[in-house]
With several copies, the nearest count.
Chain A
Amino acid sequence: MAQFMPLADAIATHVHDGDTLAMEGFTHLIPHAAGHELIRQQKQELTVMRMTPDIIYDQLIGMGLVRKLVFSWGGNPGVGSLHRFRDAVEKEWPRALELEEHSHAGMACAYQAGASGLPFAVLRGYAGTDMPHYNPNIKRISCPFTGEQLAAVPAHRPDVAVIHAQKADRAGNVLITGIQGVQKEVVLGAKRAIVTVEEKVDDLGAGFNAIVLPHWVIAAVCVVPFGAHPSYAQGYYKRDNAFYTEWDDISRTRESFLAWIADYITGTRDHAGFMAKFNAAHSDKERSNG
């Protein structure tokens, strides 16, 4: 049953050192505030999974909190490389990073299998590629009717799913509007789910066939306005494309990265503090640029 609580409490209560964590969101609704809170609380030895480990995981990796990454595309969308991810893989800084690498289809199907209570998923994929040589979690399976050879991947069953959504009602039912990614699957496949939302409302106003996650599949709901920034929340705010570009500079060197984290993440108490600082700095910047 969903309990409303501050984000810091949700992370402290539901995320433990060594957990496998999936923070999903497909460009839209990426739970950045929750990622920042993991850094503030210095959660250790995490296995993190995500189709598109973008800035949110670049930060966790750069801070050395991640032991293993399960993923399918690790870049800064529309900008280029994730420098902290590359530094970890290429130079083992700040530590070596174990990789389990899939395709998008493999990840999506593994999440579906997790949500479906199945131990594995079947897809037509990976054939002829080098990916199975480096990922023992990609196997072949035969169709018992046609004999066709297909790929099998084990289900993703993370300890904790973290997603961001637009609204929760008083009972903790959650509404997702717009691009929905794999959020339903990761919540239903996880042992515990934390959902940050833009706001708590009396009535979701959800039509038929809207994407609603009922309160009883969620452990904690946290009201965190702008909780997806610099990603976007349809109906609330746009993607901060400029910050994705800035991240390329911030994250390029270890020093500038650590300075930014010290300033914006460990140097702020919570997401409201982060947003206040961020907005102040960026309105200054715009003024100085103007």
Chain B
Amino acid sequence: MADDTKAGYTRDELMIVEAARQLRSGQSCFVGIGMPSLAANLARLTHASEIILIYESGTIGAKPAVLPLSIGDQELAETADAVVSVPEIFTYWLQGGRINIGFLGAAQIDRYANINTTVIGGDGYHHPKVRLPGAGGAPEIATSCGEVFILLRQNSKSFVDKLDFITSVGHLDGGNARQRIGMPGRGPTRIITDLGILEPHPESRELMLTRIHPGVTVDEVLAATGWPLKVSEHLQQTEPPSQHYLDVMRDLQQRTAKAHAGGR
């Protein structure tokens, strides 16, 4: 975990706020549990009150007062505009092209934003060192959403030269590879980390560092990346998070902790 900075917020907090700031009212957003859910709900509680949150449990337009601990929490069902079956959410809504933004995490990511959530190390798929949970909804989120945001702490274990397994496709081997294999969505358009933001080059689709967070150096980002990361000629600095966003986020996290503590 990143340390508290003098600025009064952690790098994780900056990462979440920055992810939230990428979202806009009116967008439909396919959200997983954890950081993506925190970022999307932060956006909903600040500048993007009309954002539409969709969870793969079939809850469409969920407006949870506290963050869900599972993808199918009753809080999601109780606040949703509609609850549909899991097959329907994947066919009519995701594959049907109704989702603007898909939010993904990953265990590993490569320079073309392909991701691995399946196995790491050992002797390949059948005898891995670490067996991860697997694909979940990610392969088709990566395929069918209008665009994909990836939210991931940056270090050389997660940002790797070569994936142990391609679970979900980013830009494959770059260029127009997605179009070539018939993928409707634009794929990952930004990788939001605790150090900065990476975006695919418009032609090669190789990830470039386009923004860097306050207090982070380019060398630090390069050291946290398992390939020779390209840096944009127009590298910009991320806006620090406003106190309002920090307050809303921390309040949401506290409400969540309180609500789930009395679980039994």
Interface of B (DSSP majority class): loop
CB-nearest residue of chain A to B100: A216
Give the interface segment out of A6-14, A38-46, A115-123, A267-275.
A115-123
Cross-interface CB contact of A127 among B61, B169, B263, cutoff 8 Å: B169
- Residues of B126-164 at the interface with A, using a CB-CB cut-off of 8 Å, are 126-140, 143-144
Q: Total interface residues on B, using CB and 8 Å?
A: 71
A86-B131, A115-B96, A185-B85 known; A125-B139 Cβ under 8 A = yes
Contact with B along A127-170 (1 / 0, CB 8 A): 11111001000000000000011000000000000000000000
Give the interface segment out of B50-58, B192-200, B220-228, B235-243.
B50-58
Separation of A178 and B80 alpha carbons in the complex (Å): 10
The answer to whether B96 touches A116, judged by C-beta atoms less than 8 angstroms apart, is yes
The answer to whether A77 touches B33, judged by C-beta atoms less than 8 angstroms apart, is yes
A232 at the interface (CB under 8 A from B): yes
Separation of A234 and B90 alpha carbons in the complex (Å): 23
Contact with B along A31-66 (1 / 0, CB 8 A): 000000000000000000001100000000000000
A112 at the interface (CB under 8 A from B): yes
Separation of A201 and B65 alpha carbons in the complex (Å): 24
B22 at the interface (CB under 8 A from A): no
In the complex, which residues of chain B have a beta carbon less than 8 angstroms from the beta carbon of A27? 57, 70-73
B95 at the interface (CB under 8 A from A): yes
The answer to whether A131 touches B85, judged by C-beta atoms less than 8 angstroms apart, is no
In the complex, which residues of chain A have a beta carbon less than 8 angstroms from the beta carbon of B96? 115-117, 188-189
Please give the residue numbers on chain B whose beta carbons come within 8 Å of chain A beta carbons, in ascending order: 26, 28, 33-34, 52, 56-61, 69-74, 76-77, 81-87, 90-98, 114, 118, 122, 125-140, 143-144, 165-169, 172, 177-178, 181-184, 260, 263-264
